[in-house]
């Protein structure tokens, strides 16, 4: 990238909608409006404590509304927010269910994914790796990409990439490139995802990783359908991205029930 860095995509993240197999009222839900029609005012679990994550949810809703992906950030400030995208966040807030006993301080990652696997709520929104904490109950879940509005879903992914500084010496650059290719390669990623028999359900960028894992862990065959969805787009962050997100979070902070 502009002679400054080399980067190889390694892992993807995107919001998936989880429902339980056998919940026929939810098995065909494809967007937030349909989910709200089914759940009304309770039953949706999320691990979405950060206001900045709520900004990302707003941007997903805006992309689904406009049916147009842009690689720059639209203004997020008073008087310039999309009413349709904000309505989607309000519907999520209406459906959001929290543990009446609160979240323990030592709960760790994906608390509500674990609670969903234990039987709490009827739907859960989270990343693929949240199945890591669902243990054997992960096979009892259906998951899918979904639209944040009533429009067609425009899949948006975060990308974790391994990167090196392109300005290192030639000797170090060769070693760094070898290392970068190793940690993003199929063999290493298969081992990391399988995790010694406790699969982490990472959404890898290399398609062959899913084929290598699917025979032992069938969920990976379903995850490949997510990773290979046509016309997917990527969240991009620019050098001023942190400042943008911090400022935007002040204006999308309408979901106090999502923040512990």
The answer to whether residue 233 is catalytic is no
- Identify whether 136 is a catalytic site residue: no
* Torsion sign (Cα): 96, 27, 62, 233: positive
Residue 215 DSSP label: T
- Measured between alpha carbons, how far is 107 from 104 in angstroms, rounded to an integer? 5
Q: Which H or E run contains 156?
A: strand 156-165
**Average of per-residue pLDDT across 30-49:** 91
Averaged pLDDT, 200-227: 96
Query: Of all residues in the chain, what percent carry a pLDDT higher than 90?
Result: 63
Domains and CATH numbers, the chain: 5-249 (3.40.190.10)
Q: How far is CA 260 from CA 48, 102, 103, in A?
A: 9, 9, 8
Q: Is the pLDDT of residue 139 over 90?
A: yes
pLDDT of residue 260: 42
Catalytic-role residue among 77, 78, 84, 129 = 129
pLDDT for res 7: 85
For 63-79, how does the pLDDT look when each residue is reduced to its tens digit (9 = 90+)?
999 999 887 777 777 77
pLDDT exceeds 90 at position 20: yes
CA-CA distance, 97 to 11, in Å (whole number)? Answer: 29
| Cβ neighbours of residue 163 closer than 8 Å, sequence gap 6 or more | 5, 6, 7, 8, 180
The DSSP output letter for 259 is: -
């Amino acid at each position: 990238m502009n002679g400054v860095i080399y980067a190889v995509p390694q892992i993807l993240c995107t919001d998936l909608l989880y429902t339980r197999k056998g919940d026929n009222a939810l098995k065909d839900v494809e967007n937030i409006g349909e989910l709200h029609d089914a759940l009304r005012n309770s039953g949706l679990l999320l691990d979405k404590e950060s206001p900045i994550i709520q900004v990302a949810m707003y941007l997903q809703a805006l992309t689904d509304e406009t049916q147009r992906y842009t690689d720059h950030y639209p203004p997020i400030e008073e008087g310039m927010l999309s009413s349709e995208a904000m309505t989607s966040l309000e519907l999520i807030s209406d459906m959001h269910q929290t543990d009446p006993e609160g979240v323990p301080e030592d709960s760790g990652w994906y608390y509500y994914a674990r609670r969903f696997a234990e039987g709490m709520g009827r739907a859960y929104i989270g990343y693929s790796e949240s199945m890591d904490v669902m243990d054997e109950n992960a096979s009892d879940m259906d998951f899918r990409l979904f639209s944040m509005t009533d429009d067609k879903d425009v899949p948006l992914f975060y990308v974790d990439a391994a990167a090196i500084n392109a300005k290192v010496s030639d000797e170090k650059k060769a070693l760094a490139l070898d290392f970068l290719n190793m940690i993003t390669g199929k063999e290493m990623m298969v081992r990391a995802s399988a995790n010694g028999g406790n699969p982490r359900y990472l959404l890898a960028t290399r398609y062959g990783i899913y084929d290598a894992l699917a025979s032992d862990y069938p969920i990976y065959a379903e995850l490949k359908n997510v990773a290979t969805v046509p016309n997917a787009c990527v969240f991009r962050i620019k050098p001023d991205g942190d400042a943008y997100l911090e400022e935007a979070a002040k204006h999308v902070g309408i979901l106090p029930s999502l923040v512990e």
